[in-house]
Structure formats: C-alpha cells, structure tokens
Amino acid sequence: MTTVYSIDRVAMPPAPKQFADDTAELHFVPAPCQVACPIGTDAPSYIAHIWDGEIEKAFEAITATNPFSSICGRVCDAPCEPACRRVDSDGAIAIRNLKRYVMDKLGTSHQLPVKEVTRSETIAIVGGGPAGLTAAHDLAEAGFAVHVYEQSDRLGGMMAWGIPAFRLPQNVIQEDIDRMLDHCPGISVHTNTGLGSGISLDELKKRHDVVLITIGAWIGKTMPLKGSNGSDAIDGVGFLREVNGGARPEMPETVVVVGGGDVAMDACRAALRLPGCKKVKVLYRRGPDEMPARLDELEGAIKEGIEIVYNTQPVAISPAGDGYNLTCIQTELGAPDEDGRRRPVDVAGSEHDIPCGKVILAVGQKAECSELDGHKLMEWDRVHTEWESMRTEDPQVFAAGDGAFGGSTIVMAMQHGHRAAYYINAHLDAVDAPMPYRTPFRTRAVKIADDAQWEVFNRHEQDFHGVGAEPVKFPEIETTYTDEEARKEAARCYRCDAETGSTDYSVRNREDIFVMARTNKNDVKTQQAIFRHRLENRDNPFGENRPADLQDLVFLPANLSRLVIDPYRDACSVNTTFCSSIELEGPFMVTGFDAAPEQVTMALDEGLRQQGAAYLGARQPADGVSWVQFIENTTESASNRADAIVYAVGKEDFAKLDLPEDDRPKGLAVTADTVSEAVPFALENGFHFLLTLANGRMGSAESELSGAPDLTVLRDVMRTMRAMNREEDLDIIYFGGLRTGTDAAKLIGLGANVMVLGTAMGLALGGQIDGATLSYDASLSGEERIDRTKSLLRGLTTEASIMARCTGKTNIHNIEPEDLRSITLMTAEASGIPLAGAVKK
Amino acid sequence: MAKIDLARLSVTEANKLIRKYGAEGENVDVLNPDAKHHIGVGLVHPINVRVHGSAGYFCAGLSDGARFEVENNVGWGLADNMLTGSIVVRGNAGAIAAVAIRGAEVIVHGNIGSRAGQVMKEGTLLCAGNANFMAGYMMYGGRIVILGQSGEKVGQDMTGGTLYVAGKVNSLGTDAKQIDLESDEDDEIREMLERYQIPFNGSFQKIVNAGEKLHYSRNEPRSRSQSFFMASGTSDYWNAKVQTDIDIKAQIGRYRIRGYGATRALPHLADLAFRKDLSQIPADGEVTKKIDLKTEIGARNGAEPIKLSMPVMIAPMSYGALSKSAKLALARASALSGISENTGEGGMMDEQREAADQLIYQCLSGRLGWNIHDMQRANGLEIYISQGAKPGLGGQLMAKKVTEEIARIRGIPAGIDLRSPSRHPDVLGADDLVIKVEEFREATGHRIPVSVKLGAGRVRDDIKIAFKDGFDFVELDGLQGSTGAAGNEVLEYVGIPTLSAIQEAMDALGEVGGVEEMPVVLMGGIKDGLDAAKAIALGAHAVAFGTAAIIAGGCIACLQCHVGQCVVGIATQDPEHEKRYQTNVEAENIHRFLEGVRWQLATIAVAHGYDDIHQLDRNDLVALTPEAAAITGLPYEPGYRDTKPQATRKAS
C-alpha cells in the first residue's frame, strides 16, 4: 500500500485507465491525508469546499469513493489525521469531523444519480458489511445486477452489529445504505440468508456468474485462562452484537475488558452505560503508545471514567463470591515480533488479583464458515484469498474484507471492496492480466481557503458529551461543528495538494524534497526512485513560441559596478514633464473612460486631479485635470479646453489633418501598421509626440482586453527615430497592456515617457472583466473610488521608482535599455533587449 | 609602555604586536603612523593606545575595550563598530566617524566629516567642532553631541537615538524632528564634556526620529497565496493574479510584500539535461564511498579554508527572518552533513556557533549584530552586497518579527518595519571595498576567508570587480533566490536568472583568467543534487541550498514568511508559533535531505566515470530549451528530455 513517504509515492504506479485518477497531472501530487486514506478520499478538496460554502461540492468529493460517508464521518479510524502535516504543529485538521459536518447537513437529503443495470451478468455477494457493500456499489455502478446475501436481518455488518449507537446511531447507517440503494437499484438484498444456513455456495454459483465472499470476522477469539470453564469470560464482539441488537443486560458493579483495540474500547464504553455497572477497567498488555485503538476512542473512554491498566494481562480466572478473581501478571516490552511491535514479556513474580463481576475478552476476531470449510476454501480462520487478484481457490469465487484478510477497519474493508470489484469487473470483461489495482487519487483543484488567520486557528475539537444524562439510551457522544466552526477548521488546511504559485517550489518539487528529507541515506532503493523522479525534466516553461511579454523583461540591479542608491530612502524623482508643457506627478495618464458611468468618471477625475495625472480620451475631464484630447476623425476639431491633442487616423488620412495653430502639443497615434509612415510624418510636420498603440487601438479601457501588447511597435518607433538621428525630438506616450509599475519602468527603459492606464485603472475602480468589456456595479462609494484611483497611481509610481532605484537611478526617466534584459527569446526579439546571460564579450 | 614604529613595521605586523601587548595588558605608543589605515583594528583588550600623529581609515575599528588617543587627524570610518572603550582624536575626523559603534565613546576635538554616526546602535560620538552633512544618518541608537554646526540633513532617516546640537542646525533630515531637552540629559552631556576636559558654556537642541517612516502607512490586506501557477505564461493576460494585484494596490497605494523568491517560470538549471542516460543506473549503496566529494574553499589569500564534505553550503538566512529553532536546525544539519552554515543578516547566536561546525558570518550594511568577537570565532566572513531575491535592496523584516530579542541582538529598536540600508556606509565603490576587506583581514589576523555575496545583476562586470578586490570566493545568488520579505515586483523582476548568472560569471572569470583562482558558490533555486551537479558542470565550485533546506525542514511554501506567524514555526518570532517547530526532528530531516543530495552528486559523478566531482564539465550537458541554449551556449537538444514520464502526463 502506498504510504506517505514510500517509493510508491515518488514513483506512483500508473492507475488503470478507467480510474478517476489525476496523478499524471503535472501540477498534482496527492496530499499526505489523501495518500493515507485507503480509498483515496480527496480530503483537501472537500475541506476547501467547506470553506467556500460549497457544501454540495464537498458532498460530491466525500462520497465519490466512499459509499459510507455518513458512517465514516463519525467512526472512521481516520488514518488521514495522523498523516496530516499540521499534526506536528498545532494538531491535525479535524478531517473526519469536517466530513461529518457535511454529511449531517446533506446525508439524508442529497441523493446521487441513479445507475441502472446495463449488463446481463449477475454477482452474488455474501455478507452485507462494508467490504461487500462497497463491492456491490462499484459493481452496480459498472452496470451489473448484484445480489447481497446477508445472514442477519439488516445490512451493515460490523458497522451495524459491532459499533454501539452512542458512537454510530442506527439511522446514520441506514442513511448511507438508503442512499446507496437509491443510487444503485441494481442491488438486490436478501437478508436472513446465511451462507450454508440459508443458501449453499453451489446454489450461488449456479445462480450467479461470480460469488464474492465478504463474511467478515464475527467470532471473538479467546485466550487461555487457567481455571476457566469457557463461559466465565465472554467475547467482546458477541457482547456488542447483543447490545446492538437492542439488549440492555444488567451488569455487575465492576467489569473488566481485556484488549486494546477498537472492540475493547466499544465494549468497555458500552458496558459502562448498562444498568448496574459502576466501574470498568481495561487491561492491555502493552503500553499506551502501542495501543491499536484510535487515540480519541481511548481518550473518550478515559474521559468517561474508564480505567486503563497498561502492561497487564490476565493469566487465570476463578470464581469469587458473585463474580471472579482475575489473576493478572505485569508485562514489559521485549523484542519486536514479526509485525514490528514489541512483544510483551511477563514480569516474573508480578501476579496479582483483580476482583470483578464480569470479564469481556476483546482480543481479536476470526472468521468461521463450515460451508466454506466444506468447499476447502478456508485456511485456518480466514478465507484463503490471493491479495493480487482477490481470488479464492475457486475461479468463480472471490473474497475480501476481514473474513479474507483478518480484522481491520471500516475504511480498509471498503478498500478491499473497491479492489475486489475491480478484479471481478476485469474477470467479467475477460481481461486476463488486469493492471494491478491501486487506489486512485483525484483532485478537484479547489482554490485555497483564504482566511488571514489560517496560521493561527488551533484545532477545534467537537463537543464531547460523554455518557449523557441517560446512558442506557446510548445518546451520541459528540456533536459536529457549527457552520462557523467548520469554516475555521477548514481554513487551517495546509493544502499540501495545491500549488502556491511558485514554479521552482511546485508541489512536485516540494514533495520530492520532503521525501528526500525523510529517506534514510542507506535506503538505496528509495534514493534511486527519487533520483529517477528528479531526472524527469520539466516541460519548456515558455513553450517554443511564447509571445513576447513585458513580464519577460528583468532589471539589472546596481551592485558593484554601478553606484548603489538606497531604494528605501534615497529620493528618486518621478515628476514627468510631458512635451515641456504638461506637468505630471508620475509618468501616468489614464484612458478608456469616455463612456463609463458618471459615478466612475467623477471619482476618477477627482483622483486624477489630486494625484496629478492626466486624462487621455475624447471625453473632457473635470476641471483641474490635464486633458490630452483624442481625435479619431479628420473632421473633428480640437477643443479649446484640451491641453494637448492626439490624432489617431489611418495613414491615408495623415495629409488631411488640420492641426490648430497654437502652442499646444500635438501628437500622432502609431500602430504596428503605421510605424514606418507615421514616425517620419510626425517628425516632419510639427508634431510633438507619438502615441504608440501596442494593442492596435484605443478609445476604451477594453481594447487592452484583446491580449498581450505588441512590443515591436515601441521598438520600431524608437529604431525609426534613432535611424533618423532624432531620438529626442518626440515624446512617447505608450498605451497597451500596462499592469504594474514595473511594466511602466520597463517601458521607460524601452523609450516611453508617459504610460497610459486603461484596464488596470478600470479594475482599480471596481470594474469586472465581463467577456470583452468592463462592467461596474455600485459596490464602491465615490470616496472609495477616488481613493483607489490615487492609490493605484501612487502604488504603480512607487513600484516604478523602486525599479529605477534598484538600477541606481535617482530619476525614473533615466532608466535605459541597458538596465534591462530579456528572459525569453521571443521577448528579446520583440523588445530588442538581449537575453540575460547570453550577451557575450 | 611598548613602542611600535610604523616606519619600520607594516600595519599587519603592528596590529599583531598591539594585540599581543593587549593580551599582556601593556599599553602601546604608535610612532610614525603616517595616516596609515587600520591602525589598532581587531583589538579586544582594555589597554591604552596612543597614536603619535594622524591615522588613516578605520582607526580603532572592529575593537572592544581599548582606550585610543590620536594626536592629529583620522581618516574615515573612525572607531568602526567599536563595542566598548573610547577614542579621543585631537584633530579632525573624516566621513562616517563612529560608524556602527555599539557602546564606545568617540571624542573628536576638531570637525567631523559627513554621515557621522551612520547606523550606530549605542554609545556616544562627541564632536567639539562642526559636523558635515547627514550626521546621524540611519542611526539606530546612542547619542551624537555636536558643539558646532550640525551640517545639512542632520538625523536623516534616523530610527532611534538622539542628536544634541549646540551650534546652528543647518537643516533637519527626513524623518527627524527637533524636541525639547530634559535637564538630566543636559547634565549627562556636561558631565561627559567635563570628563574629557572640553570647555563648553552653550545650550543644546535635541533631534530625534519623527516616526513617520518606521512603518508602512497602510497594511496590505492579508491573503493566502493562491495557486496562480499558470498565470505566468499561458493564461489570459488579465488573469486572476493580475486582477488581485491591482485590487490590492488600489487599496494600499504601494508595492506588495511577500516571502519566497521569483514565483514565475524562468530559465533554470532544470532546462539542462545530462547527455548520459542516468535513469538506468543501478541502485548503489556504496556510491558515496566511491568518490571524494570533499571541497575546500577560501584559501585564495592564504586563510584557513572552509572545509566541506561535499560542494554544498547552507545559504545565508537570518535569525530574524527565521526563528531561532529553525536556524538551529539548519546549524545542526550542516554539522551532521559536514557542510557550512551562514548567519545571514541577523548576527550570530551562541547556540548557533556551537551547533555549526563551519559557520560563515555575514556583514550587512546596517551592521546588525556585527561585532569583532563573533568575527573572530567565525570560519568565514562575508560582505553582503546584495541578494538574488532583492538585489539593490537591504534586508527587510516586518515589525511583527522585530521582537525585543531580535532587536537586542541586532542593536535596533523593537517593533519597527525594518528596512536595512541598501549600501554599506563605508563602501561606495569598488575601491572602498578593497579597504573594507583589508580591515576584516586585519581584524582577524588574515586567518579567516572573506567572501562576497552578490545578487545577480551585471554579473559579468561585478564578478570582475570581486576578483580584482581579492575576495576568497563569491556567493552568487540568482533571481530565483528567496527571502523572508521583499516587494513582489523586486522578487519577480530585478536580477537575472541563476542559470544566466553562472554563465556570465564563468565567462567573466575566463576573460580575466580567474576561473581557477576565485571559486563561485552558486545559489538561487537549486533544489537537489541534480541542480547542484549541473551548476558544478557549468563551473560553480559549490552550491548553497536555502529554500530547499527550509522545505526539507518542514516549510510548506505558503509564501507568507513576511507575516511573522508562520504556521510551522520557521519564519516567525512568535513563541506560540515557534514551539510548533521541533528542532531535533527537522535537523534530522534537513540532514537526510543533504545526504540525499550527496547520494545524487556521487551517483552522477560515478556514472560519468569521474573520481572528482569537479571533473563534471559543461560538455556533459545539453540544453532542453532554446533559451537555455542561448544562455549557456550548449547545444539545443530537446530530444534529451525524458519522454517516458512525460508521455503519461495529461496536458495541463
């Protein structure tokens, strides 16, 4: 089985094609919690959906591989939680209780789509516990008619008969079973039909194409106790079966439970709630760290007043008064046994007596079935089954679950069910050598919960009620979260599955580092697997033809070979004088609000006025704002209010332009198509500036939404002017795709004097990108819009000036092409800026 | 009283003698000083030293406890970083008198040059004459007393401390203000003037920090880093990341701050592949024994080199940016793996010194935590010029992380948004740097290597200067280097990629014949032994791991280092968060990571048939992208991209 740091995780074996598995995605490595889950539950996604309030999506993620989600929300042993990376910080995410939170909300109301029977073959499943029903579910989903034969009067197996109602109420079990049967009408249930007692294996084989044996391990094991008559110590699973059947037998005052697993925990807590019982002791032969019971079961038992006696095991029993004297011996931990746990060794001379009224043995379970014995399908106390195929000796008979592989957990039984269904399906599809099964891992790629306090919130434990006011009625011990508690708990998730945006430290790279950090240097096999994984080269991050992009330019900082200034402190002038006449407080103009709602333009103009920026457009801005009038039509004339005028007409109309005879700066718009004509024309006809339109057009904020700007326009304008030796004769306004102050600083380096903000300002003013347009709503007040206008201008100006200072400049307009490098070839080509590192002598 | 004649001895010999007499408790007369630099540097004993004449740069610098007297004038950097003790100068002092002092008394009878008391932390500078411009520039504490005129911009960008000016205040600096004087302050000054027998009848004006620039005016709204992974390339131009960015700037009116390094895709060592097919190498448990990875670095000028068991270092990271627990885990891991640890900006902790075997001690412009004692117990000294994450900018530590303890070790006021100076007070150009390096060597008896940390910019030019200035080695940090806090735009767009940096560095060293002479340690986005081997093949002598080591030690890369409430207890000074970090467990994790790197390095070298890792050669590599080919000049061979695993991947 794949574990959190195993080789399998580094070199994940391929999943069968039909599986919903995303491990081949470059940007996905399943989180430790998901890997720890035997059925691969996409916990990070459902947790994130809880935070988002998308409870139905959380429900989908939870139930996708788990037909017993409501049950698991309460009683899963939750191997995900100890695997959670936050466990070492301030406690694992309460993954199980978050599941319960969702299921308590939607478990009874939310249904799954119906899967009809489409196949002619039928399958018999013997035993309606978690393994059998999970297989039934998968096979029914695959279109088969499935018949479940259950010896008792109800479905659920150990879930129904082994877990007392104070942990798992009967209606919760029913909720999952009802949902499954509604979802899979192809499942027929035959209760009170035991194998052998109700129906024979031969009959099943005759009626059905395949038989799956999931009979569980129903028989409690015993232990040798000197002096025992065989009936003075009862078995734990039998006791729980009786109680779960509704009985509430009278208990003696003191009950002793022997064992340290989940059955022992359930038995001791059930006994405590029964009439007459005052004291329950649990004897366990190892220490607390070795105890197999889930920690919170143990803690719950202790909270309820149960005494746990460690390093003690009974050796003899004798009647004493109304009850017994249980003779026990102390143990200590010796050498590890074959399963790696240290074997308890008796301490000589430590015998002592524990008086009690009843002894319950919870020391393991086994399977028994005389019908299968008769067919020679049993091997000792298990159905003889091959793990690699889930087959028994009989080619028509498969087996899974506790009955085949020994007592385990609900979620492991479900994994067996999925596994068995996979091999049965392959068998019925006549696939001779199916790919080895592995748990599939899916992601729903949910956005990370964005709560500023996620680092601070501690694990919130669900409310614990203990035995309650009327213990004998077995009221539930715990309640789940409120909405707010659930959301806070969900916010805590590290999201080990998710990219945080760093290319270098992608999930894949981080996880490899994590595995390296947890692999012994002498574990050569794993070292090799990691090495091979690291040898996988990434794809070309830029593709072969990534278009040129402003973000693919970088600045060269001043270090040793240029005088360093202190960007935090030293002044860097950002004042911008445009065409020797218009004074701006930063290198920005704004455009695109000719047709915007009045609330927006009023706030914008006030912000521009206060922040000393100009407006460029056809619309006349409010008083106090410099205006560069934008004229697209040769018949249109310049307004007297305009501080400068720019003409954006086709090159065929250049000659028709009739410039007003005054001192105001006049400009000509340039596009990729017009560079070669427009630049000489402007130089020779008294223009003062050029407006380079890198997106081809302007007039609205939306024209930038068409995509990345074409950097060649500015490059060619500068080259043309340089070729004519008149580089300084025209000021340059740049428009197109400006997103940050850094972009502005780069454009200055490329030759621009003033940058025009369109879409960026629209977004700052609350605009929402809606297809090819920006739309505004009333969510911002006028004051907020004014403030946001100023803040954006100030923010971008600071960014631009920080860039200038990093290059050692005390005036942003001193940034030169030599301060820049490209990081892609396409950008190097389009901008004329060489690739970093590629410049040779 | 011993006599030392500088007409007959070199300064190095003289300083050696002065230290010897100091240890013996004998006072010293220095004759014929001839305005030589570095007189008395590195002295840590409380003796009297009298200089009969004028001294040059850094007189009494990097010292603790001695009492100096200079009969005439001194050059710049008087009493640089002097801890305790005193110096009396009868004549004038040059620029940056009392720079970075941490308790000493510096008395100048004449005038003082510009930027006096720059970044001083504690102690007194007393000038009986006039000061030049920017006295008290960026001072963090202590007091400056000027009996004459203040000079222009007095108290410029001061953070703490006090200036007392008796003469004319020519002009106040940025973020300085004039306030009233308390009578006991006046008494203390007069007591001192009397002690040094300086007659004075006037009155003082008091200048302190105005508190306008110690904090960012608006807090950035807190948000978790979202996975805008594909934003830097294939998604729409106005993608969600861009929109969020604009929205936040429209609220705060300034650049955004975060932790980590450049997040977008950049040309990287990952875009190179080995020609040799390494995927089929059998697992070899003995491979690390088949090759000697031992690497020494720093002996260029005869110092005791730093000894590494493999060509790997821990990159400089500060106590401050990181918790003490995290720094100790790095120190322990470095010792376990036989490599070096580096203090970064925040000074040296005793526990760190003890835990690390080889420890490099970094000197930054603010001289935070810098002192002679820690210099003398370091294995390497490093002058920080810049770093890959934010070249051109000083360190940045947000207020939440500037706790009392951090402030104490750094010698600054607690609770400020610390933005360290971006240039050294005493290094304005390459020539100053030579004299500065010489001061370090003098102070430590030429025993300890001196390196320079360079963020990658104009690497070709910068590396030649580093070579000419005689550094023992260079730590070269590319654009992919990370940090605890920096402006997002600087992280993404200032500097050149690590791959470009090493190429330019080797080209430049090739041009000046320095390839063999001055080793380059490359860092910035190096994640494993494969990256390291490629860097070495391209010419790096060693590499350093920063972020990768942090991740090995439990970092989850949430990029929220600047906030100061790190969820795993690494980038925090909050005890509630720091206690989440298990130093011993994470030290072992980092150690195992480093051993994994060792296994990978050895495997690659052995597979190539080499017996020395430095035999790896650029011709062992090919470029997988046109960019990587253009940068390195290696052949563009996309066919070497391992196609097998890629084929199973879905398009993303």
pLDDT digits (tens, 9 = 90+) for A413-467: 999 999 999 999 999 999 989 999 999 999 999 989 989 899 999 999 999 999 9
Question: What is the number of structural domains in chain A?
Answer: 2
The answer to pTM > 0.90 is yes
Average pLDDT over residues B639-643: 78
pLDDT, position A561 = 83
Q: Which residues of A touch B500 (CB under 8 A)?
A: 821, 823, 835-838
Q: Which residues of A touch B646 (CB under 8 A)?
A: 536, 539
Partner residue opposite B593 with nearest CB, options A452, A516, A568? A516
Cβ-based neighbour number of residue A640 at 10 Å: 8
Q: How far apart are CA A766 and CA A326, in angstroms?
A: 77
Residue A701: band (very low, low, confident or very high) from pLDDT cuts 50, 70, 90: low
Partner residue opposite A513 with nearest CB, options B227, B466, B527? B527
Interhelix angle A483-491/A95-106, rounded to 10 degrees, is 140
Q: How far apart are CA B146 and CA B142, in angstroms?
A: 13
Percentage of chain A exceeding pLDDT 70:
99
Beta strand spans in A187-271 (E): 187-190, 210-213, 219-220, 233-235, 254-258
CA B110 to chain centre: 34
pLDDT, position B212 = 86
Average pLDDT over residues A683-696: 93
Start-to-end C-alpha separation, chain A: 57
Max Cα distance, chain B (Å): 87
| Distances B445 to B17, B375, B448, B554 between C-alpha atoms, Å | 11, 11, 8, 40
The dihedral through the CA atoms of A543, A549, A551, A552 has a sign that is: positive
- Across the interface, do B226 and A501 touch by the CB < 8 Å criterion? yes
pLDDT, position A667 = 97
pLDDT, position B645 = 45
CA B432 to chain centre: 17
Q: How far apart are CA A675 and CA A713, in angstroms?
A: 7
Residue B397: band (very low, low, confident or very high) from pLDDT cuts 50, 70, 90: confident
Chain B residue with the nearest C-alpha to that of A739:
B242
Determine which helix (DSSP H) or strand (DSSP E) holds B307, and give its type and residue range.
strand B306-308
Q: Which residues of A touch B568 (CB under 8 A)?
A: 88-89
Average pLDDT over residues A405-413: 95
pLDDT, position B227 = 64
Whether residue A362 lies inside any domain: the answer is: yes
Whether residue A256 lies inside any domain: the answer is: yes
Pick from A38-47, A364-373, A765-774, B228-237: least confident? B228-237
The tens digit of pLDDT for each residue in A193-224 reads 999 999 999 999 999 999 999 999 999 998 98
Contact (CB, 8 A) for A463 and A100: no
Phi/psi at A803 (5° precision): -60, -45
Average pLDDT over residues A314-332: 94
Chain A residue with the nearest C-alpha to that of B272:
A537
Residue B430: band (very low, low, confident or very high) from pLDDT cuts 50, 70, 90: confident
Percentage of chain B exceeding pLDDT 90:
85
* CATH assignment of the domain containing A339: 3.50.50.60
The tens digit of pLDDT for each residue in B469-515 reads 999 999 999 999 999 999 999 999 999 999 999 999 999 999 999 99
Whether residue A382 lies inside any domain: the answer is: no
The tens digit of pLDDT for each residue in A1-17 reads 678 888 888 888 899 98
Pick from B5-14, B236-245, B259-268: least confident? B236-245
Smallest Cα distance from A262 to chain B, Å: 30
Cβ-based neighbour number of residue B218 at 10 Å: 12
Whether residue A225 lies inside any domain: the answer is: yes
Smallest Cα distance from B479 to chain A, Å: 9
- Across the interface, do A791 and B250 touch by the CB < 8 Å criterion? yes
Interface of B with A in 468-527 (CB under 8 A): 479-480, 487, 489-490, 492-497, 499-501, 503-504, 507, 511, 525, 527
Confirm or reject contact between B231 and chain A (CB < 8 A).
yes
ipTM for the assembly: 0.95
- Across the interface, do B559 and A24 touch by the CB < 8 Å criterion? no
Which of the listed residues A366, A388, A415 is the one where a domain comes to its end? A366
Phi/psi at A335 (5° precision): -70, 155
| Distances B95 to B33, B115, B410 between C-alpha atoms, Å | 19, 6, 23
Question: Mean pLDDT over all residues of chain B?
Answer: 93
Confirm or reject contact between B618 and chain A (CB < 8 A).
no
Residue A676: band (very low, low, confident or very high) from pLDDT cuts 50, 70, 90: very high
Which structural domains are found in chain B, ordered by start? 2-209 (2.160.20.60), 282-612 (3.20.20.70)
Average pLDDT over residues B383-405: 88
The tens digit of pLDDT for each residue in A591-648 reads 999 999 999 999 999 999 999 999 999 999 999 999 999 999 888 999 999 999 999 9
For B365, the token pair is 């412009």
Residue among B406, B276, B326 nearest B585 (CA): B326
Q: Which residues of A touch B479 (CB under 8 A)?
A: 554
Beta strand spans in A697-739 (E): 731-735
Smallest Cα distance from B12 to chain A, Å: 27
Question: How many CB pairs (< 8 A) connect A and B?
Answer: 394
- Across the interface, do A764 and B246 touch by the CB < 8 Å criterion? yes
Domain that holds residue A270: 219-366
Average pLDDT over residues B160-182: 96
Confirm or reject contact between B285 and chain A (CB < 8 A).
yes
Residue B642: band (very low, low, confident or very high) from pLDDT cuts 50, 70, 90: low
pLDDT, position A143 = 97
Average pLDDT over residues B130-151: 97
The tens digit of pLDDT for each residue in B404-414 reads 999 998 988 88
The tens digit of pLDDT for each residue in A457-511 reads 999 999 999 999 999 999 999 999 999 999 999 999 999 999 888 889 999 999 9
- Across the interface, do B589 and A455 touch by the CB < 8 Å criterion? no
Mapping DSSP to helix (H, G, I), strand (E, B) and coil, where does residue A168 land? Answer: coil
Which of the listed residues A366, A401, A419 is the one where a domain comes to its end? A366
pLDDT, position A541 = 86
Whether residue A158 lies inside any domain: the answer is: no
Residue B228: band (very low, low, confident or very high) from pLDDT cuts 50, 70, 90: low
Partner residue opposite A85 with nearest CB, options B260, B556, B566? B556
Contact (CB, 8 A) for B55 and B39: yes
Which of the listed residues A306, A331, A366 is the one where a domain comes to its end? A366
Residue among B442, B365, B498 nearest A570 (CA): B365
Contact (CB, 8 A) for B111 and B129: yes
Q: Which residues of B touch A567 (CB under 8 A)?
A: 392-393, 422
* CATH assignment of the domain containing A692: 3.20.20.70
Whether residue A310 lies inside any domain: the answer is: yes
| pLDDT at position A698 over 70 | no
DSSP string, A300-329: HHHHTT-EEE-SEEEEEEEEETTEEEEEEE
Percentage of chain A exceeding pLDDT 90:
84
| Distances B284 to A518, B292, B607 between C-alpha atoms, Å | 19, 16, 11
